[in-house]
Amino acid sequence: MDNVDLDVLRTVLAWRRAGRAVRLYTVVQTWGSAPRQPGSMLALRDDGVVIGSVSGGCIEDDLIRRQAAGLPDEQGAVRLISYGVSREEAARFGLPCGGTLRLVEERIVDSDWVETLVARCAQQLLSVRQLDIASGRSRLGEAGPEDAFAFDGSTLRTVYGPRWRMMLIGAGQVSRYAAEIALLLGFEVLVCDPRSEFSAEWDDGRVTFVAGMPDDAVLDIHPDARTAIVTLTHDPRLDDMALLAALKSEAFYVGALGSKQTTERRRGYLSELGLSPDEIGRLHGPIGLHIGSHAPAEIALSLMAQVVALKNGVAI
Measured from the Cβ of residue 148, the count of other Cβ atoms closer than 10 Å reads 12
Residues 148, 244: one domain?
no
Q: What local confidence, expressed as pLDDT, does residue 60 receive?
A: 87
Last residue of a domain, one of 136, 160, 184: 160
Residues 29-67: pLDDT tens digits?
Answer: 887 655 678 888 999 999 999 999 887 677 888 899 888
- The stretch 2-11 carries a mean pLDDT of 81
Q: b/e string for 162-178 if b means 16 or more Cβ within 10 A?
A: bbbbbbbbbbbebbbbb
Beta bridge partners of 51: 43
Helices (H) and strands (E) in the chain, counts: 11, 15
Residues 135, 187: one domain?
no
Residues 146, 173: one domain?
no
Residues 141, 192: one domain?
no
Residues 130, 8: one domain?
yes
Query: What does pTM read for this prediction?
Result: 0.68
Q: b/e string for 88-98 if b means 16 or more Cβ within 10 A?
A: eebeebbbeee
Residues 45, 115: one domain?
yes
Q: What local confidence, expressed as pLDDT, does residue 95 receive?
A: 55
What is the pLDDT of the chain when averaged over all its residues?
87
Total structural domains within the chain: 2
Residues 258, 173: one domain?
yes
Residues 154, 174: one domain?
no
Residues 129, 179: one domain?
no
pLDDT at 119 over 70: yes
Beta bridge partners of 209: 191
Residue 252, CB-side half-sphere exposure with 13 Å CA sphere: 18
Last residue of a domain, one of 160, 193, 222: 160
Last residue of a domain, one of 135, 160, 185: 160
Residues 308, 197: one domain?
yes
Measured from the Cβ of residue 160, the count of other Cβ atoms closer than 10 Å reads 21
Domain of residue 182, residue span:
165-312
Residues 132, 198: one domain?
no
Residues 249-292: pLDDT tens digits?
Answer: 999 999 999 999 999 999 999 999 999 999 999 999 999 999 99
Residues 189, 121: one domain?
no
